Structure 1
Amino acid sequence: MLRQTEKTLERICAGLAIAGGAVLVLLTATTMVSITGRALIGIGLRPVPGDYELVEAGTAFAIFAFLPWCQMKRGHVTVDLFLARFGARVNAAVDTLANVLMTAASALIAWRLWLGLLDKKAYGETTFILQFPLWWGYAAAMIGAIVFVIACAFTVWRSLAEALAGRPPADPGDLREDAA
């Protein structure tokens, strides 16, 4: 059951990360068009109205879209200077503790993001140029934040299973589809 749940969650996280990447590509194109429009304003071109607002909201979504994938693939930075001396069980226990802490941090971030979303929605704040509601950006980021909390909770379960089995945490470089 653990492996099937992991595969399903990985697909969700991968899809979200791809969506985040697509948004970044669109934001890059928008920025390029806007800069070109500013540079060539003398020949009738114009910058994209609200480009800063679009980049701000889109980047927030993209960042939160990448976090679940990074967590599932054990991509967060770790320092293994001292852990290399200990056995598989100690390394798996440390990995479990790190995942518990990351789950707590992700839940705190998601909670605060949710409160910010509610605040922006209640006050009806909008962006200056495009006049779209600020809470839309929060809502887009909230999707990734929720999946991040789920991914973190799953990695606690996964690392706990590894610790109980006495297996070391898997090396992120070994997490190819054909491995396992």
Structure 2
Amino acid sequence: MTAPRFGENGGGGMRRLVGAAGLLLRLVASLLLLTMMVVTFVDVLGRELFSAPLAGAYELTEVLLALVIFVGLPIATARREHVSVDLLTARLPGPVRRGFAVGAAAVTAVVLSVLAWRLFVSAGDFMAYGDATVYLGIPLGPVAGTMAAFTAIAAVVALVVVFRRD
């Protein structure tokens, strides 16, 4: 039997809240991807048909891609879909494998926590210095802050995975 996916499996109020949060994250990621797709389409169309690419398309795509990745981070963490290699652990007994899985989730929570902290520090630095993208002038502080927030959410989700029994 497979573990329930993030946002699936109805039940109590907390499960519904988690399900709604998962749905919201998937919607946001989908909208960001759709926006990225439209920007790329318009850029290519403008370049090929009118010899006039969309101004700032590269910068906008960079920012959107970063946001898509970090919005998807809590989803991948909750679904336990991070990349893993089980060359050695596949042959171990079930309880030992589960122990390794719990240990991996704990390490993931710690790494994500450190990453979130460093992203928050960077966001503060970006805001203090007024850093922005070169062409469009997109402020980098709020982007890094958003990335930090989603990384912190993923760290909490990883911590929940450590203590979840399924």
TM-score, normalised via structure 1 length: 0.76
- For residue 40 of structure 2, the aligned residue among 31, 34, 55 is 31
Question: Is residue 42–residue 54 contact of structure 2 (8 Å, CA) maintained in 1?
Answer: yes
- Cα offsets for 1:105-162 (capped at 9, x unmatched): 111111111111001000011222222312132133233212211111111111xx45
Asked whether the 8 Å contact 1:27–1:55 carries over to 2, the reply is yes
Query: Identity percentage over the alignment?
Result: 27
Match of 1:55 in 2: 61
Point out 4+ residue stretches in structure 1 off by more than 6 angstroms: none
CA 1:81–1:129: 2 relative to 1, 3 Å: closer
Q: Which amino acid is the alignment partner of residue 133 of structure 1?
A: P
Paired positions, count: 155
Question: Which residue of 110, 120, 123 maps to 2:116?
Answer: 110
Equivalent in the alignment of 2:98: 92
**Superposition pairs of residues 1-180 of structure 1, within 5 angstroms:** 4=12, 5=14, 8-41=17-50, 46-158=52-164, 161-162=165-166
Unaligned runs of 5+ in 2: 1-10
Tell me how far 1:84 sits from its aligned partner.
3.3
Q: What TM-score, normalized by structure 2, do the two folds share?
A: 0.82
Q: Which has the higher contact order (CA 8 A, sep 6+)?
A: 1
Structure 2 counterpart of 1:35, one-letter code: V
Q: Which shows bigger deviation, 129-138 or 56-65?
A: 129-138
